[in-house]
Amino acid sequence: MNPIIEVLKTKDFKKLWFIGTTGMSMRWIEQIALGFYVYQITKDEFLVGLVFFFRNIPMLLFGAFIGVISDEFDKKNILKITLLITTVVYLLLTISSFLDQLSYFQICCGAFVAGLAWSFDFPIRRSLLSEIVDKRLYPSAIGVDMTSSNIARVIGPILAGIVLQQVSLFPIYLFGTAMFLMAFIACTKVEAKRIIKEENSNSLSLLFNDLIEGIKYIFTSRILITVLVVTIIMNFLVFTYQSQLTVLVQTNLSDLPIILGVLAALEGVGATLGTLMIANFPMKRGMMIFLSGSFLFGICIIAFVFSKVLFVSILLMIIGGFGMAGFGTLQSILIISSSDQKIRGRVLGILAITIGTQPIGAFLLGYYSREYGSVNAVKISVLIAMILLIAVTILYLGKKSNSVKNQ
């Protein structure tokens, strides 16, 4: 049987898949909608970057501890509580925007809560996925999950681009309220087994020690170290371009929100096609796909920043999406396949911290964009990342060669 079909037939997988698709859809809708809306009312690159900062900073602040907590407590209950709180906050933002009382401060607060929900979802839901599917199906399960995420990256920005013709966040928040409520209901029906720790379970006083244990474990694996270092480089220096995408598009191409939405969506098209291809590939060369995908994405973003021709920008976003597929899909596969199940939540939590470096990069990028322009700031940031990626690749291949010789 095709491994993708086997995954889809696994009990509870479709529920977790729906929850993830919901969160990712809102993430990409907000990414476009908030950036465009704030830039329209402020014309300030730094304030645009600051919203992005609040949207992503929870991953850095709480990511690792959430991973530890997910190893200690019931993952399903944690996810339920998170989804319920997010639903309530979105409902309040919906009311505020309907009454035309929405402020920049409220937008930032809503972005922070949405980011907090994402920081819980990432390590906990991915860890749950690893518990409900057979180990041999991990690559296909992550591939299917990433495919749904990439589909959300296609639909979300286009929806945002259409809705923003009216320059209002009310329909965005209303849709988010409905989506998170449905995700909460789906979560109540998940029946994943729990992996119990052998001792010292449920002791909050040991959270820090568990975190240190996770860090020590990571340093025993060349694969885990490489994945985490590359993740820091990509999130701190490359993916931050998303915080200035509104400004880049309006500067080089068009000030129409639908153009912004379509360009962001096309990256998702490339990522979806790439993920579907990867889901059926053998994972023997997983690390090289991961590194190559990262480099391809960065090169496409540098070219995109220089492009002032819409057709060329469209091609670059699609090709860049293939690179994103290599990075995103293999990141999770390599982390999960290289870590023991009882400590996997902590490892995924530390991965969340590395992803959480993105808001720091976005904050700095916003500052330098205000001073020197978004085009200059983004191209320098991504160029530095490409140099670092080449260095990491050389170090990885060098250590791999040495380990083979010593065997």
Summarize pLDDT for 154-210 with one digit per residue, the tens. 888 888 888 887 778 898 899 989 988 998 888 888 776 555 455 544 445 556 676
Instruction: Tell me if 242 sits within 8 A of 355, measured CB to CB.
Output: no
Q: Which domains does the chain have, with CATH numbers?
A: 7-188+206-406 (1.20.1250.20)
pLDDT above 50 for 404: no
User: What does the buried/exposed string (b/e) look like for 299-336 if buried means 16 or more CB atoms within 10 Å of the residue's CB?
Assistant: bbbbbbbebeeeeebbbbbbbbbbbbbbbbbbbbbbbb
Task: Supply the pLDDT for residue 317.
Answer: 94
Task: Supply the pLDDT for residue 237.
Answer: 94
Taking the C-alpha atoms of residue 27 and residue 29, their distance in angstroms, rounded to an integer, is: 6
Lowest mean pLDDT among 177-186, 217-226, 276-285, 331-340: 276-285
Within 10 A of 256 (CB to CB), how many other CB atoms are there?
14
pTM of the model: 0.76
**Greatest Cα-to-Cα distance within the chain, rounded to the nearest angstrom:** 69
Burial class (CB in 10 A: 0-12, 13-18, 19+), 9: exposed
